[in-house]
């Protein structure tokens, strides 16, 4: 699909996929973008093997977009448009569509890439399920206290007792991990963070109490010591297992890439904007 653009040079049309949540405002933005791209020879609208995926909605929608295209991580870059306030995975507000189109038109392929999590679930019969997480993956036991041995690269760290544990990516550190009292990690740091969910600590039971930040070379393994129903979340999805043997977490060899336009906002700006707000008020 080679097209001649306005400058007269041969330029390959950018293959663009648009995904949107069901909200009225998101659908409005999506139709506007569809209309622009349909008429523009610099862009080619497609759901299959896109160069760029535009996610319209919030950070939650970007999680869905990531999972729709997680098999294309080597070639795809994401852009987020937020139809509310500015999010962590979203660089554009809904009134900045023209700016987004201009930035994509002058795009040179620059990207900002961030680590994601590899989740390996092993069942009692030896069956293995491999998943990827952009924010985090958690393991919980709902009906009784979860008792599990936690290993970091084969060192037994602790026998955990409590509601559960969460392992987050750097970009996921501002999500569930933050509610659990975990630290915010700068998104390019190649590490994952293990955070406790309501650990039991008394004279008999002891856990670390704080979250830990684990480097790329290490693996986190969580092995429940009791039979039961375990709930494993991966971003916005939840699964239940009654024959779970263990869950292992690593930093994945692949990363998620975003289009690095001038609108790719600084992480610290996002942090203060999202959690502190206007300092003058």
Identify the residue whose tokens are 């994945």.
252
Binding at 135: pick from Mn ion, ligand NAP, none (beta carbon under 5-8 Å per type): ligand NAP
60 binds Mn ion (CB under 5 A): yes
Nearer to ligand NAP, 129 or 184 (CB): 184
Nearest Cα to 111, choosing from 79, 87, 80, 81?
Answer: 79
Task: Return residues touching ligand NAP (CB under 6 A).
Answer: 58-60, 63, 87-88, 135-136, 171-172, 174-176, 179, 235-236
User: Which residue stretch of 57-65, 104-112, 209-217, 265-273 sits at the interface with Mn ion (rule: CB under 5 A)?
Assistant: 57-65
Is 59 among the catalytic positions?
yes
Catalytic residue among 42, 51, 59, 91: 59
Nearer to Mn ion, 60 or 228 (CB): 60
Nearer to ligand NAP, 50 or 172 (CB): 172
Question: What are the catalytic residues?
Answer: 59
Binding residues vs Mn ion (CB under 5 A)? 58, 60
Residues tagged in the binding site annotation:
59-60, 135-136, 161, 163, 174-179
């Amino acid at each position: 699909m080679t097209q001649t653009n306005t400058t007269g040079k041969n330029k390959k049309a950018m293959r663009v996929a648009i995904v949107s949540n069901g909200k009225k405002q998101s659908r409005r933005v999506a139709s506007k973008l569809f209309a622009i791209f349909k008429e523009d020879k610099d862009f080619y609208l497609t759901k299959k093997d896109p160069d760029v995926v535009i996610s319209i909605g919030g950070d939650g929608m970007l999680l869905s977009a990531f999972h729709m295209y997680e098999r294309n991580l080597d070639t795809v870059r994401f852009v987020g448009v937020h139809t509310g306030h500015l999010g962590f995975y979203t660089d554009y507000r809904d009134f900045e569509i023209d700016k987004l189109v201009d930035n994509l038109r002058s795009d040179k392929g620059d990207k900002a890439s961030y680590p994601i999590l590899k989740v390996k679930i092993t069942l009692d019969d030896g069956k293995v399920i491999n998943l990827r997480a952009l924010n985090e993956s958690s393991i919980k036991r709902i009906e009784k206290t979860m008792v599990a041995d936690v290993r970091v690269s084969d060192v037994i760290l602790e026998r955990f007792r409590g509601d559960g544990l969460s392992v987050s990516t750097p970009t996921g550190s501002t999500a569930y991990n933050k509610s659990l009292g975990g630290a915010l990690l700068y998104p390019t740091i190649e590490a994952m963070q293990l955070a406790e969910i309501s650990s039991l600590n008394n004279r008999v039971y002891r856990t670390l109490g704080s979250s830990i930040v684990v480097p790329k070379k290490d693996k986190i393994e969580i092995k429940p010591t009791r039979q039961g129903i375990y709930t494993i979340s991966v971003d916005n999805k939840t699964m239940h297992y009654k024959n779970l043997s263990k869950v292992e977490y690593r930093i994945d060899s692949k990363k998620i890439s975003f289009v690095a336009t001038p609108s790719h906002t600084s992480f610290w700006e996002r942090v203060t904007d999202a959690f502190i707000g206007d300092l003058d008020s």
